[in-house]
Structure 1
């Protein structure tokens, strides 16, 4: 289920930048969160989740019907993925049993069903439900946190940046959410520290 190569992100008063979370489950984290992430919350209604799904790498377009129960599941799943990703990025594998159970519960539902059309184009059996989409997210998370990819879950190395991503680079050396944002800031800061007269 991989299609897109990143999302355009922006904060008030700042330039937008492209961020690639590397995987569907970490992309869901871009919709907000709890605590200090609540200021970025995008999922207030089922319609908000339905509007966000076509932006994701799932490639489902605007075919997804989201119920109020799906929104509750999405928020619970997102919180679990956030905690699992932060734990993995810290180098620990001490995952919460409750968070793993949340993944397993969502993954147990049937995922979207791929079909092939008359022009040999790949599509999805319609209608797709929010439950099916969330199953795809949870199954993606099971693959990430239950396999070797867990060692490539990273948090951006930028100051005050908490974006999490799967490092899909060949050498596994990605440090920044985006070179045009935090990577560039780090370069400028390093240059200033070396040449204070500049």
Structure 2
């Protein structure tokens, strides 16, 4: 799991804030709902939307990406499975076997091929296909949900915020999607009461 730090999100009220999902598979959930507090709505309507999303991800895919219409359906299935598993993990509930099947199916494809450049920077063998990206997401999810970090999957404690993240803090006490957003709002509520 990559340790890259987050994305800048824009809330319905216009506030921009940094959100770090902590892992690729939970970050991919943002492809369904960028704005916290809003109901889940689809952001991947055509292959170009998926290509753009892959370019924003923590994998740092900066070259050519190839995606087709079938990749959109596969992305929706995978994202739904990760969403279900993460919500259940955050609540301490049991998983669903169908979600595990979806992860295993996506992970069976080869992931993107890493390469190292002349200046020793890591990159990818291009083009990267959407199937390869989805395999990387599924493999990351398998690593997360089958390991000890599953106990650190959290849902933001903010009112009407349903962002899911991996608590990578040393003490394991992260409660908010962002201290600059939901954390500060809770502080203000506490002061007022």
Superposition TM-score tier, normalisation by shorter sequence: over 0.9
1:123 aligns with 2:123: yes
CA shift for structure 1 position 3: 5.5
Runs in 1 of length 4+ with deviation above 3 angstroms?
Answer: none
* 1:32 aligned residue: 32
1:142-161 matches, within 5 Å, as 142-161=142-161
CA shift for structure 1 position 121: 2.2
- Specify every segment of 5 or more residues in structure 1 that has no aligned partner in the other structure, as ranges: 194-198
Conserved 8 A contact 2:63-2:126: no
Give the length in aligned residue pairs: 189
1:71-110 matches, within 5 Å, as 71-92=72-93, 94-110=94-110
Q: What's the C-alpha RMSD, in Å, of the aligned pairs?
A: 1.4
Conserved 8 A contact 1:53-1:62: no
* 2:136 aligned residue: 136
CA shift for structure 1 position 85: 0.4
* 2:55 aligned residue: 54
CA shift for structure 1 position 120: 2.3
Give the TM-score of the pair, scaled to structure 1.
0.91
| Cα distance in 1 for residues equivalent to 2:181 and 2:13 | 14
Conserved 8 A contact 1:4-1:56: no
